[in-house]
Structure formats: structure tokens, C-alpha cells
């Protein structure tokens, strides 16, 4: 069964780089829903006005403390994206001249004086403020009355076309004239379709052991040469809680390695922005995550995933975090694992696709995916992870469909600019490689509860389609107990999942084809193609995953899982081995600069460089020649996707449940090899990739 959930994540809004009174490089990312101007003497900013225009007003909102993300106007967002691409391009003079977070702030972001002016304004209105070194975002927290005063508006409750309720400004929000603000991703507190990309396995038994994966993709050859990830830090943008080893509890990764007799020193530490962090103010809304609990169903929002909206006594694991940490830690077995997990115990009353009234005078706890921008900002600020793995995403066409067709989600603008692309460019400019799951909905990344006509469109998942990251698709890997192939590696899709799930892939509707893809055989059109590479992901050959390993959690659970949530951390682990090889090879380190000269930035330029060299490609990657990522579509009898719904029989009553309809066309693997929109340039092998990239 394909797992789909609606997440109340406050994903990064499509934000302009510039605003009135600043020197940004891009205009407003979307048109306002109303012609009402900001109050005299104030300055308006970009926000999700389209959601308000297409929703019904219910009445005034009443909530407790809430935190709002405020994007500051960058001086040169386009310059940051250009630098990120050049620093990762072996042909560019900037190659591997990576920056520090303070460099990003001083060269591309708002000035320190402008940020100080914004902070002073919010402090004057009684709000606590969190900041990060790169000066891209501030987070302001306070009561409803304080927020309404600061943003010159009142909040109302709205109901969207799907029936979900959310709160949002009743009039266009603004700040005092001269306060540098370009937008807010979550001042309209509506749901988004970001979800983890893992799928319960359809295979037999407990799933593939780490030794089988290591043998199948030749991690073992790298181990034999001495490359195990030692000295490299892998970061994971957390979706929910994970138990780590303490003096009184055993962590899941440690127990997993003991169970499978995996050697090595890899261990997980949790990195959370909280009130003790020197880059945030006290009372900014952050706190240390609550202890992991035994499996439970209670949540701070009824019907929401308790791992993402926990209570003080219900904070259970959800398997996504365990897939991420166990695949990275068992395959890069001597690496350090940093798990970025943000937690806010009281963050307003967001919708999760269901009616969820606010507790009187209070809000709801949010964690993980619901705070993903804060986690990414913290990863940039700390600059401590050499590699990042992200196992989540959502439809590139977004969840809103105002008149005129589907719009981009609020991670980026229609021209491919905005907070999220700037964040991923910042990571690349620091030299950090980012691997992102390409999705589990095959060619139809818009699958899920749709709004007006987006479900039956071929579309890809974001952030896997961002030009600054490596999109990781999935394959089916038939192996025996020794990890030896007993059949061909094929694309994960129709032929292995019975049409219900498959490797996400296709062509972006918003991002231009990056330089590294131009001229590569198999590209379609002039826009970014996704994914870039692929590793194991099919549920039919799922990997073993251990949760609740500590006895205090009520009993360990060992289950098999597939999905591109498996492939992304596997790829991050393989890249950690490549970075260790560089770090211990003088000629490779000499090509870099700064405090981490072994980093290589976004690996895509290197991957496609290998692909364009036939001899190197044949020694490093396996092209996937069989498979298709079509999946069964669903119609929803809610009037939003009527074109896909079969005509009910005379006299019958329409049902609100999803109804499968005939399979839509997807993408095919190329029988002669090369790039395809299911598995990218193909499957890399660990030892060969080290030789191709580092030369040892």
C-alpha cells in the first residue's frame, strides 16, 4: 500500500528576493488575492494570499502563542545561486572554493544593520526572535495580540475546498515602513502535502540486511580499501523522533548494528535549535524534543501523526527516522550522524487536512516535518554536516489550484526563485552535498488529495527537483542472502509494485535545466529532469528497519520498508565514503580550500561528467534498462477532480473515498541504456565511484 499523509509543515513559501525599500533581485512571487493595500505608513510583503482567495471565511481566529517565519530581503539571491553552481562545477574557477555561513550573510543576504532593524521592530512589539548566522530568515513568536499588532492585521479562520480549516490574516499583513521584510511562509497557517517517502514492504521476511545492500552496491569494495565514512558527518533533516543511545537507553542505530553484527563507530546525535542555542533568543518557541515514548496514538492535533505533532507523553517513532539513521549509519559505518530535529511545544493551531479546533488559549506542539525550514536553517548555520539526506517532499505543482490552473507550492516562486532554492543554494555554497528522495508516486507526483485538476498531470516532487540537490530515485534489487544479484536491477515501478507506487521522476515545470544536464543524452525538454541517480527502493525488496529497540519502549519492531526514503540515505552514505577518500588523499584535498577542503559541493556536476564520458560511465554506473513509473491514478468525488472520476451508475450515490482509475502514462527506461526519468543516469557502485571521483 502506498503511504500518503497530509503534513501540517510550514514549508518555505515562494518568496521574493526583494521588497519595497530593499535591493532584492526578484519581484513578488505571486499576485495578491485582493486589491486592498497595506495600511498607510506600512510596507506589505509576500504571503500565501491565493489560499485565502480560494477559501471560505469561517470567523475570527482564537489561538495562543504562535511562531511566524519572516524572510528577510536578500541583496543578491541570484548571485548566491550562481555561486553555488560554480563552486560545484569542476570547469569553473570557483570550484570547491566554499563559503562559511557568515560569508553568505555578508555577500548575499540582508545587511547586519537591516536585520538588526527588523529584530528591534519585533522586539518592540513584544515578540521573541530567533536568528541564524546566514541572515536569511528570522522567526518571531508571541501571543495572538502581539502578532496582530506587529503585522497590522487580525487573524481569521478559513475553510479550503477540501474542508480543512486554517487561520490566516483577514487583511493584508504589513510591517512599519522601513522594516526589511520580504515575506512569510506560514503567516497563512495552512496544510501542505510534504510527506515522508517510505512504503511498507511487500516482500517476505524482515527485509534486506545492511550486508546485502553493501554487497549489492559494492560498499564492501570501498570497505576493503579502507573507506568506511570515518571523519565524515552525515546530516539528516528529521521528520520525527529517533531514540539515541544514552546512559539508560540503547539507541535504535546501536541496536541495529548489534543485531546485524555491523562493525564501526557510527552514532547518532540530535541537533535541535532551542533556547540555549547562541543564535536564538530565549522564548523563541524552540525547545528540546520530548523523550521518545512507546507507540501511542494521541497527538496534539486529533488525527495527525503523533510523531510530528506530539504531546509530552506521546512521542512515538514513525520508522522514517529509523530508515534514515540506520541506512546511513550501517553503510557509512564509521561516520558521525547528526539528526536535525526542531520542536516547538506551542505553535498555534495549524490544519492537517482535518478540522482541529484550538485548545483554549493554547496551541499545538510541532516537530520534525512541521518545522523543516528551521531544521534546514540550523544545518546551514552549524555547517557541521558534510552530507545531508532528506527523505520527504511534495508535489512540485503544489496543493493550491486557483483559477487558471495549478500553482507552485510555497517553497518557491513560479520562476524557480524563493526561500527554499536559496536555502539549498546556500548548502551547496558551503560545500554540503544534499541527497533528496524523488518520491514514491511515480510519474504522478501530484498524487494525494488533489485540488482542481492537478492529480492527472505528470509532475515531479520538490525538493528533489531543485537544481542544487541530487534527486535520488529507486530500483528493484533482487539479491540472495550474500547480496549477490539473482536477477536484473530494474526501475522501481509498475512491474514491481503492481501499479500502486514507483520511483518519482519526470520533468520540472519550474526549474530550468541546470548546466550539468545540458547535452546529456536522454534529457527531455529544456527544464530540469529528475531524478539524477538511483539505489534500492522497491517495497518488494525492502530493507530491514528496527524501531523501539530499547526495552522501555515496549518491545522492538523489525519490519521491511521500501520507498525512495531508503535510496536517499543509502546514497548519502556512499558519498560519505567518497568524501573520506578525498579527505585522506592529498591531491584531492589540494583542489579544495577553506576549513573543509575535502568537500565537493553538489555532486551532480561530477555525476553527469562521468555520464558524459562513456569509458568512465561504464566502469562506475549501471544504466537501468527496464521498467516504467506509471502508477494507478485516483479520482476523488469531491468535485475537485471530476475529469478523472468515472460516471456513477444511474441512481447511485457518489462516494468520497478514492477510487482507482486506469493507469496513466509515465516514463520508460531506455532499453539501450542511458538517462531515464525513473532512475536518472543509473545505479552507482561504491568502490568504482571513489575511483571515478577521487582517483584512488
Reading across the β-sheet that carries 557-562, which strands appear in turn?
199-200, 557-562, 543-547
Q: In this structure, how many other beta carbons lie within 10 angstroms of the beta carbon of residue 366?
A: 28
Dist. CA 80–CA 326, nearest whole Å: 34
R_g of the chain, CA atoms, integer Å? 24
What confidence category does residue 304 fall into, taking pLDDT thresholds of 50, 70 and 90? confident
Q: Could you tell me if 532 and 508 are in contact, meaning their C-beta atoms sit under 8 angstroms apart? A: no
| Cα–Cα distance, 558 to 556 (Å, whole number) | 7
The answer on pLDDT for 613 being more than 60 is yes
Q: Who contacts 55 (Cβ-Cβ below 8 Å, separation ≥6)? A: 158, 159, 160, 161, 166
Which grid cell is 373? 525550514
Asked if residue 364 has pLDDT above 60, the reply is yes
Alpha-carbon span 558 to 135, nearest angstrom:
43
Q: Which of 195-209, 291-305, 460-474 has the highest mean pLDDT?
A: 460-474
pLDDT score at 28:
29
Name the least confident of 246-260, 269-283, 509-523, 532-546. Answer: 269-283
Quote the pLDDT of residue 402.
Answer: 37
Check: CB of residue 579 under 8 Å from CB of residue 600: yes
Distance CA 277, CA 445 (A): 37
281-285, 297-301, 458-462 — which one is most confidently predicted on average? Answer: 458-462
Structure confidence at residue 362 (pLDDT): 62
Mean pLDDT of 143-155: 94
DSSP strand pairing (470-476 vs 433-437) = parallel
Check if the beta carbon of residue 101 is closer than 8 Å to that of residue 132: yes
| Better-predicted residue by pLDDT, 441 or 198 | 441
Cell of 671: 532499453
DSSP string, 253-312: HHHHHHHTT--S--EEEEE---TTSTTB-TTSS--PPPPP-SS----SSTTS-TTTS-BT
pLDDT score at 661: 53
Least confident of 240-244, 495-499, 518-522, 617-621: 495-499
Rounded to 5°, the CA angle 496-497-499 comes to: 115
> Can you tell me whether residue 335 is helix, strand or coil?
coil
pLDDT of residue 645: 54
pLDDT of residue 664: 63
Nearest to 374 by CA among 626, 139, 45: 139
Predicted confidence at residue 295, as pLDDT, reads 95
Residue owning grid cell 506587529: 150
Place of cell 526549474: 511
Say yes or no to pLDDT of 383 above 60.
Answer: yes
Question: Which cell goes with 10?
Answer: 510550514
Rounded distance between C-alpha atoms, residue 367 and residue 308, angstroms: 5
What pLDDT is recorded for position 408?
58
Reference 54, options 139, 140, 135, 166; nearest CA is 166
State residue 456's pLDDT score. Answer: 57
DSSP, res 347: -
Least confident interval from 65-74, 215-224, 528-537: 65-74
Task: Please report how the helices 419-429 and 372-382 are oriented relative to each other, as an axis angle in degrees rounded to 10.
Answer: 30
Q: How confident is the model at residue 451 (pLDDT cuts 50, 70, 90)?
A: very low
Q: Indicate whether 501 pLDDT > 50.
A: yes
Helix, strand or coil for residue 322? helix
Identify the weakest region by mean pLDDT among 299-308, 403-412, 564-573, 600-609: 403-412
Predicted confidence band at 199 (pLDDT cuts at 50, 70, 90)? confident
Q: pLDDT: is 400 or 169 the higher one?
A: 169
| 278, three cell numbers | 547562541
Give me the residues paired with residue 389 across strands.
236, 435
Q: Of all residues in the chain, what percent carry a pLDDT higher than 90?
A: 60
pLDDT-derived band of residue 240, with 50, 70 and 90 as boundaries? very high
- Grid look-up 540530535 returns 270
Q: Give, in order, the Cα–Cα distances in Å from 686 to each of 89, 214, 215, 570.
A: 22, 9, 10, 10
CA proximity to 153, closest of 282, 324, 38: 38
Q: In 3D, which of 440, 468, 488, 185 has the Cα closest to residue 323?
A: 440
pLDDT of 651: 59
What's the pLDDT at 639?
42
Q: Which residue has the higher pLDDT, 14 or 654?
A: 654
DSSP 661: E
Distance, CA of 353 to CA of 662 (rounded, Å): 27
Contacts for 32-36: CB closer than 8 Å, 24+ residues apart: 32/172, 34/172, 36/171, 36/172
Q: What confidence score (pLDDT) does residue 17 get?
A: 30
Assign 643 a pLDDT band (cuts: 50, 70, 90): very low
Distance, CA of 121 to CA of 119 (rounded, Å): 5
Report the pLDDT averaged over residues 282-303.
83
Mean of pLDDT over the chain: 84
Predicted pLDDT of residue 647: 58
pLDDT at 156 over 70: yes
* Tens digit of each residue's pLDDT (9 = 90 or more) over 399-408: 444 333 345 5
Q: Considering only 213-227, 540-554, 569-583, 633-647, which range has the smallest mean pLDDT?
A: 633-647
- Would you place residue 167 in the very low, low, confident or very high pLDDT band (cuts 50, 70, 90)? confident
CA 683 to chain centre: 22
> Whole-angstrom Cα distance, residue 166 to residue 61?
9
Q: Answer with the residue of higher pLDDT: 142 or 282.
A: 142
Alpha helix locations (H) across 131-247?
Answer: 144-150, 210-216, 219-224
Amino acid at each position: 500500500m502506498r503511504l500518503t499523509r497530509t503534513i501540517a509543515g510550514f514549508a518555505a513559501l515562494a518568496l521574493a528576493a526583494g521588497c519595497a525599500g530593499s535591493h532584492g533581485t526578484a519581484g513578488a512571487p505571486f499576485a495578491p488575492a485582493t486589491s486592498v493595500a497595506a495600511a498607510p505608513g506600512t510596507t506589505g510583503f509576500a504571503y500565501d494570499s491565493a489560499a485565502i482567495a480560494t477559501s471560505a471565511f469561517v470567523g475570527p481566529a482564537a489561538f495562543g502563542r504562535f511562531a511566524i517565519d519572516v524572510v528577510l530581503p536578500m541583496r543578491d539571491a541570484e548571485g548566491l545561486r550562481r555561486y553555488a553552481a560554480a563552486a560545484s562545477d569542476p570547469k569553473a574557477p570557483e570550484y570547491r572554493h566554499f563559503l562559511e555561513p557568515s560569508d553568505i550573510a555578508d555577500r548575499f543576504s540582508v545587511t547586519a544593520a537591516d536585520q538588526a532593524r527588523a529584530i528591534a521592530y519585533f522586539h518592540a512589539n513584544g515578540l521573541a526572535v530567533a536568528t541564524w548566522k546566514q541572515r536569511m530568515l528570522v522567526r518571531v513568536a508571541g501571543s495572538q495580540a502581539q502578532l496582530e499588532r506587529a503585522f497590522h492585521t487580525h487573524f481569521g479562520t478559513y475553510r479550503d475546498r477540501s474542508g480543512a480549516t486554517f487561520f490566516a490574516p483577514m487583511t493584508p499583513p504589513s510591517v512599519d515602513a522601513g522594516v526589511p521584510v520580504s515575506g512569510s511562509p506560514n503567516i497563512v497557517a495552512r496544510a501542505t502535502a510534504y510527506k515522508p517517502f517510505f512504503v511498507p514492504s511487500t516482500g517476505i521476511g524482515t527485509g534486506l540486511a545492511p550486508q546485502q545492500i553493501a554487497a549489492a552496491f559494492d560498499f564492501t569494495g570501498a570497505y576493503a580499501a579502507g573507506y568506511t565514512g570515518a571523519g565524515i558527518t552525515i546530516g539528516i533533516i528529521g521528520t520525527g523522533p529517533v531514540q539515541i543511545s544514552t546512559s539508560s537507553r540503547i539507541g535504535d542505530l546501536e541496536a541495529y548494528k548489534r543485531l546485524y553484527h555491523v562493525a564501526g563507530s557510527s552514532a547518532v546525535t540530535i541537533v535541535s535549535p532551542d533556547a540555549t542555542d547562541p543564535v536564538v533568543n530565549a522564548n523563541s518557541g524552540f525547545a528540546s524534543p520530548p523523550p521518545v515514548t512507546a507507540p501511542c496514538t494521541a497527538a496534539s492535533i486529533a488525527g495527525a501523526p503523533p510523531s510530528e505533532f506530539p504531546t509530552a507523553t506521546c512521542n512515538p517513532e514513525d520508522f522514517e527516522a529509523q530508515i534514515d539513521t540506520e541506512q546511513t549509519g550501517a553503510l557509512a559505518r564509521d561516520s558521525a550522524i547528526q539528526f536535525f530535529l526542531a520542536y516547538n511545544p506551542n505553535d498555534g493551531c495549524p490544519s492537517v487536512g482535518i478540522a482541529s479546533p484550538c485548545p483554549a488559549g493554547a496551541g499545538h506542539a510541532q516537530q520534525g516535518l512541521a518545522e523543516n525550514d528551521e531544521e534546514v536553517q540550523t544545518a546551514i548555520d552549524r555547517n557541521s554536516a558534510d552530507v545531508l539526506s532528506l527523505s520527504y517532499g511534495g508535489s512540485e505543482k503544489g496543493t493550491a489550484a486557483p483559477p487558471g490552473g495549478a500553482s507552485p507550492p510555497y517553497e518557491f516562486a513560479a520562476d524557480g526563485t524563493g526561500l527554499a532554492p536559496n536555502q539549498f543554494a546556500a548548502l551547496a555554497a558551503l560545500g554540503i552535498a544534499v541527497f533528496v528522495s524523488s518520491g514514491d508516486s511515480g510519474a504522478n507526483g501530484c498524487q494525494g488529495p488533489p485540488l482542481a485538476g492537478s492529480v492527472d498531470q505528470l509532475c515531479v516532487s520538490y525538493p528533489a527537483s531543485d537544481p542544487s540537490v541530487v534527486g535520488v530515485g529507486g530500483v528493484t534489487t533482487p539479491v540472495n542472502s550474500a547480496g549477490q544479484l539473482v536477477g536484473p536491477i530494474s526501475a522501481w515501478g509498475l512491474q514491481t509494485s503492481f501499479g500502486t507506487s514507483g520511483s518519482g521522476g519526470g520533468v520540472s515545470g519550474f526549474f530550468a535545466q541546470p548546466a550539468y544536464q545540458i547535452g546529456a543524452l536522454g534529457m527531455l525538454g529544456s527544464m530540469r529532469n529528475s531524478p539524477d541517480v538511483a539505489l534500492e527502493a522497491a517495497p518488494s525488496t525492502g530493507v530491514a528497519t528496527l524501531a523501539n529497540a530499547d526495552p522501555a519502549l515496549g518491545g522492538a519492531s523489525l519490519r521491511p520498508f521500501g520507498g525512495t526514503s531508503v535510496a536517499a540515505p543509502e546514497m548519502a552514505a556512499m558519498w560519505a565514503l567518497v568524501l573520506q577518500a578525498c579527505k585522506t588523499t592529498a591531491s584531492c584535498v589540494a583542489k579544495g580550500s577553506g576549513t573543509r577542503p575535502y568537500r565537493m559541493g553538489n555532486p551532480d556536476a561530477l555525476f553527469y561528467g562521468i555520464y558524459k564520458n562513456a569509458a568512465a560511465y561504464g566502469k562506475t554506473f549501471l544504466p537501468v534498462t527496464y521498467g516504467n513509473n506509471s502508477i494507478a491514478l485516483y479520482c476523488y468525488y469531491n468535485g475537485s477532480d471530476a475529469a478523472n472520476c468515472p460516471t456513477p451508475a444511474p441512481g447511485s450515490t457518489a462516494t468520497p473515498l478514492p477510487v482507482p482509475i486506469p493507469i496513466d502514462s509515465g516514463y520508460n527506461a531506455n532499453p539501450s541504456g542511458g538517462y531515464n526519468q525513473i532512475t536518472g543516469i543509473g545505479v552507482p557502485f561504491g568502490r568504482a565511484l571513489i575511483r571515478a571521483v577521487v582517483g584512488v
